[in-house]
Amino acid sequence: MRATLRYMATALLNRVPREVLRLGKLLPRFQDGRIDYTNARQAPVLDCYVFCSGRLLILKRTRPIAGSATEWHVVSGYLDTARSLREHVYQELREEIALCLGAFDSLLALEPYRHFDAKLWTVYPVLARLHCEWRIRLNEEHVEFRWIDPAHIRAYLAPHVCRAINCILPCF
């Protein structure tokens, strides 16, 4: 990952990520039309860093997440349909923690970075700032959530996620 992540503004949020278009032509699909990354060597994903009053929302997974050695993560998901990054952000926030569009002050997309473990992951980091303490309701993917001070992220999150968050913090 680069030493810094670049602010990508609205342009990145409003377009379909390149990898989704490219891999969508090469990989099989589930019955509902989503791209099936199960046996793929690479996959694009969204990591959404939700902040409120300077604290980061982290989620404890019901079962391990692919590509993560820790049980805690941020709101995340595969980019498995040809929709804009913004639409994927809204879908994941709605599905995983029941947040609606009205809960946000701002969304900030940053340049994607690559991380390799069992797969090559192209991670699209997005910062979502809440304007108030919103009631978080977890779906079946999670068993617990916490609001933590960003100074404590290393105790919970994988190193590549910590590096991305540390690059995002100056954007406040």
Q: Is the dihedral of CA 22, 24, 26, 27 positive or negative?
A: positive
Q: The whole model's pTM is what?
A: 0.88
**Three-class SS state of 115:** strand
Domain boundaries, the chain: 9-26+42-171
91-143 tens-digit pLDDT: 999 999 998 777 888 888 888 999 998 899 999 999 998 877 678 889 988 99
Beta bridge partners of 144: 60
Question: Which of 65-69, 72-76, 166-170 shows the highest mean pLDDT?
Answer: 72-76
Fold of 9-26+42-171: Nucleoside Triphosphate Pyrophosphohydrolase (3.90.79)
The token duo for 107 is 């969304």
30-52 tens-digit pLDDT: 999 999 999 999 999 999 999 99
Per-residue pLDDT band at 84 (split at 50, 70, 90): very high
Position 60 scores a pLDDT of 94
DSSP state for residue 172 in the 8-state scheme: -
Position 15 scores a pLDDT of 93
C-alpha count within 13 angstroms, C-beta hemisphere, residue 127: 27
Mean pLDDT taken over the chain: 88
